[in-house]
Amino acid sequence: MDTRTSPAVQQYLAALRTLLALTAILGLAYPLAMTGIAQAAFPGNADGSFLRRGDKTVGSDLIGQAFTRPVLVNGKPKTDSDGNPVVEPDPMYFQSRPSAAGTGYDPLSTSASNLGPENKALIDATRQRRATAAKLDGVAPSSVPPDALLASGSGLDPHISPAYARVQVPRIARERHLSQARVRTLVNQQIQGRSLGFLGESRVNVLELNLALDELGG
C-alpha cells in the first residue's frame, strides 16, 4: 500500500507552515518588539501624546478640539430641537481651526469635507465661519486668516497659524484682563518652527497654548 503524501498535499502543508511562521513573526513578534521599543524610547508618543494637568487628561497634542461654552437663555443652557446643548466659542480661549471630522475633531471619523471650491455648502460654511470669527475677535472679515475658515485635510489638526493666534490676542487680553503685550509674548513662546527646518510652516498648538494661558492667569 502506497502511504506517500501526494505532491498537492505537500504543497498545502508547506503553505500552511509558511503561513503560521509569518503570522508568528510579522503578526506577533514584530508588533510586540516595535511596541516595546516605542514604550522604552518614546513612552509619551506611544501612549497617544496625551496632555495631563494633575490627574486629569485634557487632550492630545496630536488632535485638535473645540473650546466652547454653553449658550445660556435666562440663566439656563439652551438646547436644540434634539435636546442637545447649544454651544458658542469661549472668548476666554484661543480658538482652533474648523473640523470636518464627524461632528468635529472625531478621531474615529477623520476626514476632510471633500467639497470643491465652487460647492455651495462649502461657500456658505466659509462665509459663516468668517462672520463668526470676525465678530468674535472684533476684526474686519477681510482680516480673518484662512485657517479660521477651512478645515484641515484630516479634520484633526491641532495647530493654527501664528497669524490666526495673533488676531485673537486682543480678545484674550480683554477677556482675561491681561495686557496684550503679555499675551502676545505667550503666543510667540508657543510658536513651533518648521519640522526639520524646512517641512511645513510655523504653527501654534492650540491646546498647549490654552494650557499655558491658564497657567498665566487672568
Q: Sorting pLDDT into bands at 50, 70 and 90, what band is 217? A: confident
Cα dihedral 212, 89, 174, 75 sign: negative
* Whole-structure pTM value: 0.80
Q: Sorting pLDDT into bands at 50, 70 and 90, what band is 206? A: very high
Q: Which of 53-57, 180-184, 203-207 has the lowest mean pLDDT?
A: 53-57
* Residue given cell 478640539 in the structure block: 65
Q: Sorting pLDDT into bands at 50, 70 and 90, what band is 84? A: confident
Domain residue spans of the chain: 51-216
d(CA 202, CA 214): 23
Give per-residue pLDDT as tens, 158-184: 999 999 999 999 999 999 999 999 999
